């Protein structure tokens, strides 16, 4: 198997699914699936891969291995936990992965946009801390 895209295309066609049918089943846009299958998207996000894997009835770990996110000797520790071991809960890991996926998706922002993003996140956390103190 040369690529994850080739594997996904083979699984999709073996299940007699069109791009649109797989898109509906997985929640991943048909254009994104096309990009993955043709190799235009070399490194799809883990969220996208797991959605496609589940829709195609492929074990998540197999899809992550084929995409290069896991090696044969990896244990079952989620990759986000390996990269950020201090994120112990599933909700923290999921939130971090969503932020990372969005940064990858919108990677054409200018430096000031990123600074604004950080500023807004810090304001959000400060607001929530203050709100919890008032309630608690």
Write out the residue range of the structural domain in which residue 1 sits: 1-72
User: Residue 68: which region, alpha, beta or left (left: phi > 0; alpha: psi -120 to 50)?
Assistant: left
What local confidence, expressed as pLDDT, does residue 1 receive? 46
Q: For residue 28, is it within any domain?
A: yes
**Residue 47 domain-assigned?**
yes
Name residue, tokens 């996140």.
121
Cα 60 from Cα 101, distance rounded (Å): 17
Greatest mean pLDDT among 2-11, 15-24, 112-121:
15-24
Task: For residue 31, tell me if it sits in a domain.
Answer: yes
Number of helices and strands (H, E) in the chain?
A: 8, 0
Asked if residue 84 belongs to a domain, the reply is no
Q: Which residue has the higher pLDDT, 101 or 23?
A: 23
Q: The domain that contains 9 carries what CATH number?
A: 1.10.260.40
Kindly state whether residue 86 falls inside one of the protein's structural domains: no
46 within a domain of the structure (yes/no): yes
Backbone angles phi, psi at 126, to 5 degrees: -65, -45
* pLDDT greater than 90 at residue 21: yes
Whole-angstrom CA distances from 44 to 17, 77, 113, 127 are: 20, 19, 23, 34
Judged against a pLDDT cut of 70, whether residue 79 lies above it is answered with no
Number of domains in the chain: 1
User: Is-contact 61 49, C-beta < 8 A?
Assistant: no
Judge whether 135 lies within some domain.
Answer: no
Q: Would you place residue 136 in the very low, low, confident or very high pLDDT band (cuts 50, 70, 90)? A: low
Residue 87 pLDDT class (50, 70, 90 cuts): confident
Is the residue at 36 inside a domain?
yes
């Amino acid at each position: 198997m040369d690529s994850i895209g080739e594997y996904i295309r083979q699984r999709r066609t073996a299940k007699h699914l069109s791009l649109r049918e797989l898109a509906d089943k997985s929640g991943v846009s048909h254009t994104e699936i096309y990009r993955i299958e043709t190799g235009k998207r070399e490194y799809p996000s883990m969220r996208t891969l797991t959605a496609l894997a589940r829709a195609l009835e492929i074990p998540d770990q197999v899809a992550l291995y084929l995409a290069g996110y896991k090696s044969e000797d990896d244990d079952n520790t989620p990759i986000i936990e390996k990269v950020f071991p201090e994120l112990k809960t599933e909700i923290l890991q999921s939130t971090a992965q969503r932020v990372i996926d969005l940064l990858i998706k919108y990677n054409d922002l200018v430096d000031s946009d990123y600074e604004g993003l950080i500023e807004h996140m810090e304001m959000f956390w400060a607001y929530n801390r203050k709100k919890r103190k008032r309630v608690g």
